[in-house]
Copies of this chain bind each other. A is one copy, B any other.
Amino acid sequence: MAPTRDRILDALQDVLLEDGPGGATLDAVAERAGVSKGGLLYHFRSKDDLFEGLLDRLDAGGAAADAQCPPDPDGAARWFLDGSQTADGPEERTLLAALRLLGTYPPASDRMARYLDDWAAGLRRAIGDPVTARLVQLVGDGLFLHALLGSGDTPLDARVKDAVRTLLDQA
């Protein structure tokens, strides 16, 4: 079995994704993690401390993502654009959960902004022109926003991604 601390963070993510920040009570998280409330509060001294733990996990994911970015422009763009929409895998799950903290836990905004910037670091490295790199990032972030609101991948978006990548050849 995974360490208790990780199980609690997993449980927090689950609850955040299913019930939103309102449902993320200490009781709910503890029950989900198979731990009593006292046990939870042993690992995280307060609710804010628990949120901080989730944001720390996010930072780790951002750094790991950056390391995976292909070094060539086209590969980097493809990697970034596709990654902006997927909601599968443990890291994306952490991200989506952290998003739910935005209005609730004030420090979340800054941490999220830094996370988006970490993701785009590889893009800036692979693409010479900073304006083009930023454009690719913004398109990706736009896709991400739509994915956030629940709209899945559309055929039109696939064509947009192709269009963006042909743009890279001209730059």
Residues of A within 8 A of B (CB): 16, 20-22, 99-106, 109-110, 112-113, 116, 130-132, 134-135, 137-146, 149-151, 156-157, 159-160, 163-164, 167
Contacts and interface: CB of A to CB of B under 8 A. Distances in A.
A102 B21 CA distance: 9
A113 B149 contact: yes
A33 B69 CA distance: 50
Nearest to A135: B160
29 contacts: A16-B103, A20-B102, A20-B103, A20-B105, A20-B106, A21-B104, A22-B104, A102-B102, A103-B104, A110-B149, A110-B150, A113-B146, A113-B149, A113-B151, A130-B156, A131-B156, A131-B163, A135-B139, A135-B160, A135-B163, A137-B142, A138-B139, A138-B142, A139-B139, A139-B142, A141-B142, A142-B145, A144-B145, A167-B167
A137 B145 CA distance: 11
